[in-house]
């Protein structure tokens, strides 16, 4: 039942290693501990969103509202994170609660209405952006407490806290996908929905779960972003959904559902982060950056395809 | 059946907006002696534009004129349509905060043809409006870069963070900064890159720059405060803030707080209140056919620790 393709994973890992090698040879600043920590830090938000959307894509769905959920949850959390107002758990619960609720809303509409997820989440993407603007009255929410700002800006024993969150989330998501019944059901639903239904899997319930989890992870990303830039910004996160979906797909998750791994998605996110970091290190002009980024993404997936054929 | 439902929703929408417009028209003529000004703003998601709009609202109230404000949501097409509907409603004057230099220009011609005065606020169009109220973006970058040149004694390594490439503000701020760099051969532009006006992007970019150039960086010029604040965060995390000068443009509340704390060295104040107020004044004068200035330039002001109190409210 578990159709995660191991060979595909190796292909993308090979592509990633190759690109890192080339970068390490072209600039001595790339392969230093401080730079690697910076990449980890910069990658963390996109990786969290990508984990969430990987679940969704495995079940054959899509979620375009990630970026808007980042904005809503960030603004919502920031509203309760001013110094000397509420204890730290309040903004965290508000943010995570808002994200889960929005995710659950996506799931509910998708399972009840049978409208394609692309359309539903396109709608919630706009709704979310509007909500973020309404909540914040169009202005950034700043002046946040030090404890809140630690989440995205602090470090423990020299390791930036976002990297710790990233690895914990990675471990939890991997276990959820590989070691639980819900994870198996996700692959089953994405691989062949009628068959899954016939074999007694409650498809709607599985879908509710994946969209809710996706919302929760987006909220974690939103809180991380807000804390990192120490402001809740209503226009933050625009376009994040594309980077997250790209990371999942580069990592071998098939848009037709049923296939994908968390390790692949993590490598996909790292690949995007490494490229954008090194293009800055190499001082490639911004116009060319976008072209290079696109070429490398396509190249990586092509390489992945070659790996799969072997 | 689903298609039918969507179709009828469209019909209902068209009907609704149609009604809405006609009722607006009535209220326009009903107002009689009260002047009506229509304003279309670039984007109400932008803090600075919201401030300009608030100032216009306050001034309109003061002067006893009716102001209808609509949001063009960064779409020039939408903006042109909004101006068309203002003309249809028979407003006395139009204020436009243009989305784009070229694509918003047709709106000017439409208003001119309808003999309704149209005033551009904050940014320009290639077509010449009745009057322009705003500030010269080139000047803001000149002021910022001059401050850097002065503080570094005309010698040092500078990094520049651009806004969205190709936007009018980015191009002007680039020109202004480069002008001053040229005049100060001792200043070296180590690297320049876009941070897309965004705080998180500005922060990541600065982190990457620190990896590349480290101790060599003497100053960073960010084309807006959001990116400047991101640069400050990254420098602080790397323990370099004391050594690197950071200057940005806009004087948003966050940046003013940072200047007060001493983390951001300076910002350049663009006067949203004056821009909005003068736009309404000019529109009223033009509508009443009184004499008015064709170009009202609101000067920028440098804000550093010495005078920041004046700008904090």
The mean of the pLDDT values for chain B is: 88
Please, what is the average pLDDT of chain A? 90
> Is the minimum CB–CB distance between B57 and chain A shorter than 8 Å?
no
Cβ separation B212–A32 shorter than 8 A: no
**Which of the four pLDDT bands, split at 50, 70 and 90, describes residue A307?**
low
Predicted confidence at residue A125, as pLDDT, reads 97
The closest CB to that of B45, out of A133, A277, A285, belongs to: A133
Confidence of residue A3 (pLDDT cuts 50, 70, 90): very low
Strand locations in A146-227, DSSP E? Answer: 155-156, 159-160
pLDDT value for B150: 97
**A251-265 tens-digit pLDDT:** 989 888 999 999 999
Residue B194 has pLDDT above 60, yes or no: yes
Mean pLDDT, residues B178-199: 95
- Buried b / exposed e over B274-289, threshold 16 CB at 10 Å, is bbbbbbbbbbbbbbee
In angstroms, the CA B145 to CA B192 distance is 14
Whether A44 and chain B come into contact, CB under 8 Å, resolves to no
Range from A16-20, B4-8, B69-73, B236-240 carrying the lowest mean pLDDT:
B4-8
pLDDT of residue A2: 44
Collect all residues of chain A within an 8 Å Cβ-Cβ radius of residue B257: 142-143
Cβ separation A286–B237 shorter than 8 A: no
What's the pLDDT at A296?
79
- The answer to whether the CB atoms of B209 and A280 lie below 8 A apart is yes
Model confidence band, residue A281 (pLDDT cutoffs 50, 70, 90): confident
pLDDT at A290 (0 to 100) = 81
Once rounded to an integer, what is the mean pLDDT over residues B208-216? 93
Give the number of other CB atoms < 10 A from CB of residue A293. Answer: 16
Q: Using pLDDT thresholds of 50, 70 and 90, give the confidence band for residue A304.
A: low
Q: Mean pLDDT across the stretch B237-247? A: 94
User: What value of ipTM does the predicted structure carry?
Assistant: 0.75
In the prediction, which pLDDT does B28 show?
Answer: 40
**Per residue in A108-145, pLDDT tens?**
999 999 899 999 999 999 999 999 999 998 888 988 99
Categorize the per-residue pLDDT at B22 as very low, low, confident or very high, splitting at 50, 70 and 90: very low
CB A16 within 8 Å of CB A300: yes
- List the single range of A61-70, B10-19, B60-69 with lowest mean pLDDT: B10-19
User: What pLDDT, on a 0 to 100 scale, did the predictor assign at position B165?
Assistant: 83
Token pair recorded at residue B291? 């004499």
Q: A258: left (phi > 0), else alpha (psi -120 to 50), else beta?
A: left
Q: How would you classify the pairing of strands A159-160 and A155-156?
A: antiparallel
Closest chain B residue to A279 measured between Cα atoms?
B208
Report the percent of chain B where pLDDT is more than 70: 90
Mutate to test the interface with A, among B50, B167, B202, B208 (most CBs of A within 10 A): B208
**Nearest 5°: CA angle at A153, between A152 and A157?**
110
How close A236 gets to chain B, by Cα (Å)? 8
Q: Looking at the partner chain, which of A38, A139, A234 has a beta carbon nearest the beta carbon of B211? A: A38
Within 8 A of A41 by CB-CB distance, chain B residues are: 207
Q: Could you say which of A133, A229, A281 has the minimum Cβ distance to residue B200?
A: A229
- A179/B contact by beta carbon, under 8 A: no
Answer with the residue of higher pLDDT: B229 or A309.
B229
- Gap between the Cα atoms of A230 and B225, Å rounded: 14
Which candidate from B165, B212, B254 shows the least CB-CB separation from A231? B254
Instruction: Give the confidence band of B126 by pLDDT, cuts at 50, 70, 90.
Output: confident
Q: Which residue has the higher pLDDT, B112 or A300?
A: B112
With CB atoms and an 8 Å threshold, state whether B50 touches A139: yes
* B2 contacts chain A (CB < 8 A): no
- Specify the pLDDT at position A85: 94
Residue whose C-alpha is closest to residue A265's, from A233, A201, A217, A195: A217
> Which of A229, A239, A273, A279 to probe by mutation at the B interface, max B CB count within 10 Å?
A229
For residue B169, the model assigns a pLDDT of 85
Judge whether residue B29 has pLDDT over 50.
Answer: no
pTM as predicted: 0.78
Q: Are A138 and B211 in contact (CB < 8 Å)?
A: no
Residue whose structure tokens are 């806009």: B250
Q: What is the mean pLDDT of residues A67-89?
A: 96
Residue B193 pLDDT grade (very low, low, confident, very high; cuts 50, 70, 90): very high
Q: Distance (Å) from the C-alpha of residue A89 to the closest C-alpha of chain B?
A: 24
């Amino acid at each position: 039942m578990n159709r995660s393709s191991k060979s595909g994973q190796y292909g993308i890992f090979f592509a990633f290693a190759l690109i890192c090698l080339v970068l390490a040879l072209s600039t001595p600043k790339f392969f230093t501990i401080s730079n690697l920590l910076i990449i980890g830090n910069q990658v963390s938000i996109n990786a969290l969103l990508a984990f969430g959307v990987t679940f969704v894509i495995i079940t054959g769905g899509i979620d375009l509202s990630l970026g808007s959920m980042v904005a809503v949850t960030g603004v919502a959390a920031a509203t309760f994170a001013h110094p000397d107002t509420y204890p730290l758990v309040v903004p965290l619960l508000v943010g995570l609660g808002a994200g889960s609720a929005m995710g659950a809303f996506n799931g509910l509409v998708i399972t009840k209405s049978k409208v394609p997820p692309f359309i539903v989440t396109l709608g919630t993407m706009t709704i979310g952006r509007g909500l973020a603007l309404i909540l914040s009255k169009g202005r950034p929410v700043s002046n946040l407490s030090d404890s809140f700002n630690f989440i995205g800006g602090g470090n423990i024993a020299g390791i930036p806290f976002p990297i710790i969150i990233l690895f914990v989330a990675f471990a939890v998501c991997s276990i959820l996908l590989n070691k639980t019944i819900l994870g198996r059901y996700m692959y089953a639903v994405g691989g062949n929905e009628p068959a899954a239904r016939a074999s007694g899997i409650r498809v709607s319930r599985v879908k509710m779960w994946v969209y809710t989890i996706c919302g929760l992870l987006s909220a974690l990303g939103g809180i991380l972003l807000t804390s990192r830039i120490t402001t809740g910004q209503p226009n933050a996160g625009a376009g994040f959904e594309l980077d997250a979906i790209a990371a999942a797909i580069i990592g071998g998750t098939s848009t037709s559902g049923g296939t994908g791994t968390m390790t692949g998605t993590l490598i996909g996110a790292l690949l995007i982060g490494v490229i954008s970091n090194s293009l800055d290190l190499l001082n490639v002009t911004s116009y060319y950056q976008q072209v290079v980024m696109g070429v490398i993404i396509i190249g990586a997936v092509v390489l992945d395809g070659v790996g799969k054929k072997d | 059946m689903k298609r039918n439902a969507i179709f009828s929703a469209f019909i209902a929408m068209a009907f609704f907006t149609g009604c809405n417009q006609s009722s607006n028209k009535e209220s326009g003529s009903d107002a009689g002696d009260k002047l009506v000004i229509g304003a279309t703003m670039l984007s109400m998601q932008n803090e600075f534009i919201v401030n300009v709009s608030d100032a216009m609202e306050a001034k309109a109230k003061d002067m006893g004129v009716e102001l209808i404000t609509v949001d063009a949501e960064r779409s020039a097409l939408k903006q042109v349509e909004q101006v068309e509907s203002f003309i249809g409603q028979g407003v006395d004057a139009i204020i436009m905060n243009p989305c784009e230099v070229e694509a918003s220009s047709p709106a000017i011609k439409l208003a001119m043809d309808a003999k309704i005065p149209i005033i551009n606020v904050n940014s320009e169009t290639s077509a010449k409006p009745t009057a322009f109220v705003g500030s010269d973006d080139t000047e803001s970058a000149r002021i910022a870069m001059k401050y850097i040149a002065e503080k570094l004694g005309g010698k040092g390594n500078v990094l520049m963070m651009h806004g969205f490439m190709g936007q009018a503000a980015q191009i002007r701020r680039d020109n202004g900064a480069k002008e001053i760099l040229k005049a100060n051969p001792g200043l070296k532009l180590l690297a320049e890159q876009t941070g897309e006006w965004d705080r998180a992007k500005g922060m990541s970019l600065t982190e990457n720059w620190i990896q590349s150039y480290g101790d060599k960086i003497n100053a960073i010029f960010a084309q807006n405060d959001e990116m400047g604040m991101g640069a400050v965060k990254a420098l602080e995390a790397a323990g370099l803030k004391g050594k690197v000068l950071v200057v940005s443009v806009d004087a948003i509340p966050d940046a003013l707080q940072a200047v007060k704390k001493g983390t951001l060295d300076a910002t350049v104040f663009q006067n949203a209140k004056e821009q909005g107020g003068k736009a309404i004044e000019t529109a009223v004068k033009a509508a009443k056919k009184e004499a008015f200035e064709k170009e009202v330039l609101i000067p920028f002001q440098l804000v550093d620790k010495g005078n920041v109190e004046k700008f904090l409210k």
